[in-house]
Amino acid sequence: MPTTSIGLMTKLLAVLKKDLRCEFRTRYALNAILLFGVTTLTVVSFSIGQKSLQPAVYAALLWIILFFSAMSGLAQVFIREEETKTATVLKLTADPTAIYLGKLLFNLILLLILEIIIAPLFLVFTDAVVSEPLLFILILFLGAVSLAGATTLIAAIISKAGVKNALFAVLAFPILLPLLIGAIKATTAVFSTRASGFASISGEIQLLFGYAVVMITASLLLFEFVWDE
């Protein structure tokens, strides 16, 4: 059945709207992600105390918090379909591409909310200083796109593997490593006091961008096999 681009867009937004509505009723995934983020941030903040650390350490801590918070809730978008047994109905009403993109956008929104709350709190709780706010926002945004792009397919695999939530981080980590290394390098540059502008991190930005494009394309090709299982 051929899908026109308008049809795809409508279906995609319908899937997204449905997921947002479900999420708004229970707020399970959002609560899990945010509370996990705040808890780890508190632990980090207490363990640092009054000490002031290297920019590289701050960058690593921030991305560790973001990574594990994301791991605690991003799979929920597919697990919910399996738990309520609605996957089959969804399969009938929309094609895999629309479903994947809808879920991807939903996860991206969750991650952006997480970052909007955690990143300022992180700067308040620690002594990290952002020398280039705009670049910092760009890195966080690209990081969220890449993170969502790579983990949404893994989330689908997890939900089909009989909801093995413990496996999520295990499966996602080796795949996310290039992204994490790139994001941490770029964030280190932004946290260091003598900033040298966009040129110093353009390589990392390109990496994050390329990674997001490749992972989303690969997911679009592979999602069908996971979903129609």
Q: Which spans of this chain sit near another protein (rule: CB under 8 A)?
A: 153-154, 157, 160-162, 164, 167, 170-171, 173-175, 177-178, 181-182, 185, 203, 207, 210-211, 214-215, 218-219, 222, 225-226, 229
Closer to another protein by CB, 173 or 198: give it.
173
Query: Which is nearer to another protein, 69 or 219 (by Cβ)?
Result: 219
Nearest approach, Cβ of residue 143 and another protein (Å): 14
Contact 121, 38 (CB under 8 A): yes
Please count the other Cβ atoms lying within 10 Å of the Cβ belonging to residue 188: 18
Tell me the C-alpha distance between 181 and 172, whole Å: 14
CB of 185 to another protein, least distance (A): 7
Closer of 94 and 180 to another protein (Cβ): 180
Q: Smallest distance from the beta carbon of 223 to another protein, in angstroms?
A: 9
Continuous H helices in the chain: 5-26, 28-48, 55-73, 76-83, 87-93, 96-125, 133-160, 167-191, 202-227
30/56 with CB nearer another protein? 56
Q: Is 211 exposed, middle or buried (0-12, 13-18, 19+ CB in 10 A)?
A: buried
